[in-house]
């Protein structure tokens, strides 16, 4: 009896193994058919094997879900009514299946925001329903909610719903802060990548294929996010000028003056919209300093001192704020303000130190390079022992200005024009020919330091 049972067990195991082998072989075959159609964008032909793979072989390959997303979006774009809604529901279902079978490769913020964007692009659902889907992506996994268009549409919907009286103005303000902070973080990551590439370019080191690709990706994304940031700022501008902000916050001050988050948010909003000359701003800063003295409070006190002409006191507050600040973007803002103060006073070495600290904290702060370039250009007469060497500093100023536009594409037009103007002031071909120093390096022995290589003719 034991022998018969053992033989039966072996037979069953063999049958299961054979069935599994057959299933695996069939999955591979179906996947091959599916991939061939999907790769050439024959999504109608790819649809049937796609559905079979989802049912019978859901773990065959992650490519199943990557191509599947394209297939279902194609189906949504080319259908209407109930059929279109069914395909949308299936896209949502497929995202969940992807999470089940490939959790480590799944980004929920990306998937849910893509679902919301698909609704928007195909006019499925109301503005409120689309906004709720974007909000779900934002709340579920903000870190991977990165699609520039999706971020723009999300905020645009918030503004539209507020104007229709369906959400509160404060909700729009909170979303604005979150979106702009998120964009800044993304921009900083790309700017850091690009900075390394620019350093190699400046050193004359050739880029490999991977670095060239990285350069293209970084520049493209910096441009895209710069446009989104500008667009979001433009939309908020309609809702948050000083004439509207001040009475909005004044009306709630007594009721919310002991709410630290509210006071902090109100003061920050007035600063961002340059409403700091109002009595309300003074009141908010004094209240915040009472409730929670912080790096931010020191910065605001510096702004007040600066407005009163108490420059020495303002600098003390700014220095204190920078030392205490832990948020990189806020730290950069303080350092930039310090750089502006010293540049206005003509203390260029100290100004550059603070500008460099600002861009170290926020690598996407391209304006810093325009400011430094301006200081270089204004120092030309003090940085050389000959006319040629004095004018050579304009090459350095031009390169520095151009860098601003690459780091922050929103400044590209200004940066390129500024760089061209500086190059026009640098030694021309005749001067280089007469000096006979093409390809030679010229060092600057003034506060600027560094050097440039004379261009070859």
pLDDT tens digit string along 129-181? 999 999 999 999 999 999 999 999 999 999 999 999 999 999 999 999 999 99
pLDDT in tens, 335-359: 999 999 999 999 999 999 999 999 9
Per-residue model confidence (pLDDT) at position 16: 32
Position 22 pLDDT exceeds 50: no
Long-range contacts of 20-28 (CB under 8 A, 24+ apart): 23/56, 23/57, 26/56, 26/57, 27/53, 27/56, 27/57, 27/60, 28/60
- Beta-bridged to residue 441, according to DSSP, are 453
Per-residue model confidence (pLDDT) at position 116: 98
pLDDT in tens, 273-325: 889 999 999 999 999 999 999 999 999 999 999 889 998 999 999 999 999 99
- Beta-bridged to residue 93, according to DSSP, are none
Q: How many residues does the chain have?
A: 457
How wide is the angle at C-alpha 19 spanned by C-alphas 17 and 22, nearest 5°? 110
- Per-residue burial over 149-172, b = 16 or more CB atoms within 10 Å of its CB, e = otherwise: ebbbbbbbbbbebbeeeebeebeb
Cα dihedral 93, 95, 96, 98, rounded to 10, equals 130
Strand blocks (E) in 114-245: none
Average pLDDT score over residue span 226-235: 93
For the chain, the maximum distance between any two Cα atoms, rounded to a whole number of angstroms, is 108
CA distances from 367 to 26, 108, 362, 364, 381 (A): 59, 34, 11, 9, 24
Tell me the average pLDDT of the chain.
91
Residues 6+ apart with CB under 8 A from 296: 264, 267, 268, 288, 321, 325, 330
In which band, very low, low, confident or very high, does the pLDDT at 237 lie, cut at 50, 70 and 90? confident
Average pLDDT score over residue span 242-268: 93
For 292, phi then psi, to 5°, come to -155, 80
- Beta-bridged to residue 451, according to DSSP, are 443
**Which residue would you say has higher pLDDT here, 251 or 3?**
251
The residue assigned the tokens 């290589």 is 453
pLDDT in tens, 75-92: 999 999 999 999 999 999
Q: Is the dihedral of CA 234, 236, 238, 241 positive or negative?
A: negative
User: Beta-carbon neighbour count of residue 220 at 10 Å?
Assistant: 12
Position 5 pLDDT exceeds 80: no
Per-residue model confidence (pLDDT) at position 385: 87
The answer to whether the predicted template modeling score (pTM) of the entire model surpasses 0.85 is no
Position 20 pLDDT exceeds 60: no
> What is the percent of the chain where pLDDT is above 70?
95
**CA 47 – CA 134 distance, rounded (Å):** 27
Per-residue model confidence (pLDDT) at position 416: 96
**CA 202 – CA 402 distance, rounded (Å):** 12
Nearest alpha carbon to residue 137 among 176, 92, 170, 89: 92
In which band, very low, low, confident or very high, does the pLDDT at 442 lie, cut at 50, 70 and 90? very high
Per-residue model confidence (pLDDT) at position 366: 95
């Amino acid at each position: 009896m034991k022998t018969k049972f053992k033989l039966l067990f072996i037979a069953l195991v063999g049958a299961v193994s054979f069935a599994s082998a057959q299933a695996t072989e069939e999955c591979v075959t179906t996947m091959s058919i599916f991939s061939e159609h999907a790769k050439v964008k024959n999504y109608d032909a790819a649809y049937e094997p796609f559905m079979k793979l989802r049912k019978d072989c859901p773990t065959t390959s992650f490519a199943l879900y990557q191509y599947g997303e394209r297939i279902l979006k194609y189906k949504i774009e080319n259908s209407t009514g109930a059929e279109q809604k069914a395909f949308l529901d299936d896209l949502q279902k497929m995202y969940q299946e992807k999470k089940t079978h490939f959790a480590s490769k799944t980004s929920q913020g990306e998937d849910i925001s893509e679902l919301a964007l698909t609704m928007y692009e195909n006019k499925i659902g109301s503005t409120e329903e689309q906004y709720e889907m974007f909000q779900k992506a934002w709340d579920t996994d903000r870190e991977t909610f990165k699609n520039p268009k999706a971020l723009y549409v999300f905020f645009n919907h918030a503004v539209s719903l507020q104007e229709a009286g369906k959400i509160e103005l404060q909700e729009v303000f909170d979303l604005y802060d979150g979106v702009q902070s998120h964009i800044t973080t993304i921009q900083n990551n790309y700017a850091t990548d690009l900075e390394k590439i620019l350093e190699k370019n400046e050193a004359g080191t050739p880029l490999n294929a991977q670095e060239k690709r990285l350069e293209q990706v970084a520049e493209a994304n910096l441009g895209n996010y710069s446009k989104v940031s500008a667009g979001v700022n433009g939309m908020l501008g309609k809702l948050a000028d000083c004439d509207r902000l001040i009475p909005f916050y004044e009306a709630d001050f007594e009721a919310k003056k002991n709410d630290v988050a509210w006071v902090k948010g109100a003061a920050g909003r007035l600063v961002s919209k340059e409403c700091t000359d109002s009595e309300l701003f003074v009141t908010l800063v004094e209240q915040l300093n009472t409730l929670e003295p912080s790096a931010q409070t020191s910065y605001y006190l510096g702004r007040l001192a600066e407005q009163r002409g108490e420059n020495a006191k303002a600098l003390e507050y700014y220095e204190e704020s920078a030392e205490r600040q832990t948020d990189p973007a806020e730290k950069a803002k303080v350092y930039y303000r310090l750089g502006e103060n010293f540049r206005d006073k003509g203390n260029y070495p100290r100004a550059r130190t603070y500008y460099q600290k600002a861009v170290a904290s926020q690598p996407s702060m391209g304006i810093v390079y325009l400011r430094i370039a301006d200081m270089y250009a204004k120092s030309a007469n003090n940085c050389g022992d000959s006319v040629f060497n004095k004018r050579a500093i304009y090459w350095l100023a031009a390169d520095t200005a151009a860098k601003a536009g690459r780091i922050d594409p929103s400044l590209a037009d200004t940066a390129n024009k500024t760089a061209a103007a500086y190059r026009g002031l640098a030694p021309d071909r005749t001067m280089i020919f007469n000096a006979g120093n093409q390809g030679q390096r010229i060092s600057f022995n003034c506060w600027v330091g560094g050097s440039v290589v004379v261009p070859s003719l």
